[in-house]
Amino acid sequence: MNSHVSKTRKRVLSGVQPSGNLTIGNYIGALRQWAREQHNFESFFCVVDLHAITVPYDPAELRAKTREVAALYLACGIDPDISTIFVQSHVPAHSELTWLLNCITPLGWLNRMTQFKDKAAKQQADSVGTGLLDYPVLMAADILLYHADAVPVGDDQRQHLELTRDIAQRFNHLFGETFTIPEAMIPLSGGRVMGLDDPTNKMSKSETSSEYHAVYLLDPLDRARKKIMRAVTDSGRDISFNDDPQRAGVNNLLEIYEALTGKTRSEIEAHFATARGYGDLKKEVADVVIAALEPIQQRYREITGEQGYVDSLLAQGAERAAEIARSTLDTVRDRMGFIKTHS
Ligand code: ATP
Ligand code: LTN
């Protein structure tokens, strides 16, 4: 550990963008791990609102979703007594460190990012914002400010984590050992939940391809069931784990089932060996998804029923986060050669 960092436990940091309705992909790939790991790590979970403005957005929607996502962190089991929950823009150090890291990040590293290429391709070429290209540097700042050891994310964030490590190593090389090099923590099952309408594409909260694309955490339960019953499969009837792209729909349903039940693949295949067809599989997947959603929705109603509760937790969280972030930023400024103010 670097001499200026005082940690009593290893740390995790992660975040979700308030850019739409959270999906079961966000839950299985990220939030569920957070709730579990908060008992093993000192944990920081932020609502990354500055990331959500890298594509066109509506300010009123951003405001509402920022509170909704924070309340969903709590509803999914993040305990504010043991973890710090905060909003990224409440801690200005995230923006400031981004600028400093920008100046040591080669443009070529950013041009290679697949998420940038995918998201840029969905917009008119002349309207893609600079922030979309710079998105991974802001993410690196989020992580490095807290000296996070591990970052629990879905599989789609692997490349951004590699970039964060590269930026940290470059900084340490240029200015002396400063940042902890973080590890990605990606779930073995459910790291990449696929779209129910198109199982060759990742399930994503901002995807609008069809109303049957994703199950949202706040979907009415009968609607969630209907979406799973309509999931795209294939014309066969064999219910087994398989990486053949033709069978991606069945494989996706089995992975959701695996992630939510914790059963082994052989147990699951044996269980479905006597099923009459995909209808039976879908019904059971719908049952386990609904069993996961029900308590989350119940807690969400309780949390949001209490006026001002979420906002006051976010204020406390920002204060705690800012203290650590400010101290890291002071070290960074000093190492980079900025003079201090003298009052
Ligand atoms: P957007 O569509 O707005 O880009 P998203 O649904 O991809 O959003 P993010 O806010 O980018 O969600 O991601 C939040 C967390 O959820 C990240 O750790 C990400 O890896 C994880 N995640 C997102 N989608 C999935 C998925 N389909 N399967 C597993 N994990 C996912
Ligand atoms: N880019 C991430 C969201 C994110 C994040 C982070 C995740 C922003 N900052 C820091 C982990 C740690 C995504 O899921 N799209």
Please tell me if the CB atom of residue 17 comes closer than 6 angstroms to any atom of ligand 1: yes
Phi, psi of 23 (to 5 degrees): -105, 170
Please tell me if the CB atom of residue 195 comes closer than 6 angstroms to any atom of ligand 1: no
Averaged pLDDT of the chain: 96
| Centre of ligand 1 from the C-alpha of residue 192, in Å | 9
pLDDT digits (tens, 9 = 90+) for 144-156: 999 999 999 999 9
Amino acid in the structure at residue 146: Y
Q: Which two tokens stand for residue 328?
A: 């890291």
Quick check: helix, strand or coil at residue 202? strand
Phi, psi of 150 (to 5 degrees): -140, 145
| Centre of ligand 2 from the C-alpha of residue 119, in Å | 15
Ligand 1 atom nearest to 17, measured from its CA: 10
- Whether 273 and 41 have beta carbons less than 8 Å apart is answered as no
Catalytic residue set: 119, 202, 205
Q: What is the DSSP letter of 30?
A: I
Name the pairing type of β-strands 183-185 and 150-152. Answer: parallel
Strand partners, 86: 46
Round to whole Å and give the CA distance between 168 and 9: 20
- How many percent of the chain have pLDDT more than 90? 92
Cα separations (Å) of 168 from 139, 140, 265, 289?
12, 8, 38, 39
Residue nearest to atom 5 of ligand 1 (CA): 204
Residue reference for tokens 């029900």: 294
pLDDT digits (tens, 9 = 90+) for 258-285: 999 999 999 999 999 999 899 999 999 9
Q: Which two tokens stand for residue 268?
A: 């699951």
> Does the structure show a pLDDT above 60 at 3?
no
Strand partners, 80: none
Strand partners, 14: 45
Round to whole Å and give the CA distance between 166 and 115: 17
The C-alpha R_g of the chain, in whole angstroms, comes to: 21
pLDDT digits (tens, 9 = 90+) for 156-186: 999 999 999 999 999 999 999 999 999 999 9
Q: Which domains does the chain have, with CATH numbers?
A: 11-187+307-336 (3.40.50.620), 221-301 (1.10.240.10)
Give the model's pLDDT for residue 111.
96
Give the model's pLDDT for residue 2.
63
